[in-house]
């Protein structure tokens, strides 16, 4: 029997990158997936990849904008009507935002980063938690960033949103423990892929160096000397989603190659 057989998992930002890797890993362990995100095309591609996994349940695809509270509620209620429960919530979706000194950010750029990364996770959690309390079980997993712990120049709004996520996670862990709901957090380091490439390019431009040189500078900061893969993050999610972490709540797991050790 696969570890997450008969479990239902909702993943935000499931259409690409870390969210896609998480969704595939959960499906491989037998979980019934609810794939959410704004881009229907990329969600359907994740759906196709999961359909190639032997015995994987067919996911429900739900197009959802993290800033649309009504749309979030509709998606969650539809999932509950179909499956009866949601056992696992992975708050993964977010944006990197603009890389610039704080004083050069517009109010709109600040609001976009905070609303998408922090308010979005609040709205999805708010929609899912009552059903978990009713069943007295569940696992909520936040995907944050080591930037919330180890600041990077020109990344103030991103750092603020991710550190705020840690505070929300710990408070929820305190509030929900009595109901049998566990809440944990993963702080990824530099995760390889187009998103990291874009951030490095922005920072390189601000520092007036080449993206290649900036890439090497970032690699040199990592004790293991390599960027993290989306699949590395997915393995952390499997731990928090499964009974292997049955005694764990309020934890923040670094998956950073040693870039952050606290």
pLDDT of residue 153: 86
**What SS3 class is residue 37?**
strand
**Model pTM score:** 0.95
123-159 pLDDT, tens digit each: 999 999 999 999 999 999 999 999 999 988 889 999 9
Cα separation, 173 vs 18, whole angstroms = 23
pLDDT of residue 121: 97
Which residues, 6+ apart, have CB-to-CB distance to 70 below 8 Å? none
C-alpha closest to that of 91 among 133, 139, 15, 143? 143
Name the percent of the chain in helix, strand, coil, to the closest 5. Answer: 50, 15, 30
Instruction: Look at residue 257 and tell me whether its pLDDT is greater than 80.
Output: yes
Instruction: Look at residue 1 and tell me whether its pLDDT is greater than 90.
Output: no
Cα separation, 61 vs 38, whole angstroms = 11
Instruction: Look at residue 206 and tell me whether its pLDDT is greater than 90.
Output: no
First to last CA, the chain: 35
pLDDT of residue 203: 85
- Please state, as a whole number, how many other Cβ atoms lie within 10 Å of the Cβ of residue 80: 18
106-117 pLDDT, tens digit each: 999 999 999 999
pLDDT of residue 38: 95
Q: Which of 25, 50, 89, 158 is catalytic?
A: 158
Domain boundaries, the chain: 8-191+229-250, 193-227
Q: What is the pLDDT of the chain when averaged over all its residues?
A: 96
pLDDT of residue 52: 94
Q: Which two tokens stand for residue 161?
A: 């949103």
51-84 pLDDT, tens digit each: 999 989 999 999 999 999 999 999 999 999 999 9
Cα separation, 40 vs 89, whole angstroms = 20
Residues 92, 98, 99: CA angle, nearest 5 degrees = 110
pLDDT of residue 133: 98
Cα separation, 124 vs 119, whole angstroms = 9
Where does the pLDDT of residue 202 fall: very low under 50, low under 70, confident under 90, or very high at 90 and above? confident
pLDDT of residue 151: 84
179 is catalytic: no
Chain position carrying tokens 């229907």: 40
Given CATH 3.40.50.720, say whether it is the number of domain 8-191+229-250: yes
Chain position carrying tokens 């993050």: 233
Cα separation, 13 vs 38, whole angstroms = 8
Cα separation, 190 vs 103, whole angstroms = 25
pLDDT of residue 145: 96
- Burial class of residue 244 (count of CB atoms within 10 Å of its CB; 0-12, 13-18, 19+): exposed
227-249 pLDDT, tens digit each: 999 999 999 999 999 999 999 99
Q: Which two tokens stand for residue 159?
A: 């750092």
Cα separation, 110 vs 44, whole angstroms = 31
Cα separation, 217 vs 225, whole angstroms = 11
Which residues, 6+ apart, have CB-to-CB distance to 52 below 8 Å? none
Q: Is-contact 172 251, C-beta < 8 A?
A: no
Q: Which two tokens stand for residue 131?
A: 């059903």
- How distant is the alpha carbon of residue 59 from its chain centre? 18
């Amino acid at each position: 029997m696969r570890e997450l057989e008969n479990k239902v998992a909702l993943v935000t930002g499931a259409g690409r990158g870390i969210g896609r890797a998480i969704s595939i890993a959960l499906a491989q362990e037998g979980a019934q997936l609810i794939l959410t995100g704004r881009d229907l095309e990329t969600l359907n591609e994740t759906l196709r990849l999961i359909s190639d996994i032997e015995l994987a349940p067919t996911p429900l695809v739900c197009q959802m904008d993290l800033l649309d509270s009504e749309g979030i509620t509709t998606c969650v209620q539809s999932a509950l009507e179909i499956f009866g429960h949601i056992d696992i919530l992975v708050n993964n979706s977010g944006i990197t935002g603009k890389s610039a000194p704080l004083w050069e950010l517009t109010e709109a750029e600040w609001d976009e980063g905070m609303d998408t990364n922090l308010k979005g996770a609040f709205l999805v959690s708010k929609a899912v938690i009552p059903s978990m309390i009713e069943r007295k079980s569940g696992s909520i997993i936040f995907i944050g960033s080591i930037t919330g712990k180890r600041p990077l120049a020109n990344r103030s709004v991103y750092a603020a949103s991710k550190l705020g996520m840690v505070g929300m996670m710990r408070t929820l862990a305190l509030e929900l423990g009595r109901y049998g709901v566990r809440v944990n957090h993963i702080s990824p380091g530099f995760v390889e892929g187009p998103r990291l490439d874009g951030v490095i390019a922005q920072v390189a431009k601000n520092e007036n160096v080449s993206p290649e040189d900036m890439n090497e500078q970032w690699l040199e900061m990592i004790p293991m000397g390599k960027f993290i893969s989306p699949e590395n993050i997915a393995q952390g999610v499997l731990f928090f989603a499964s009974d292997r972490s049955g005694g764990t709540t309020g934890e923040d797991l670094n998956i950073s190659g040693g870039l952050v050790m606290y």
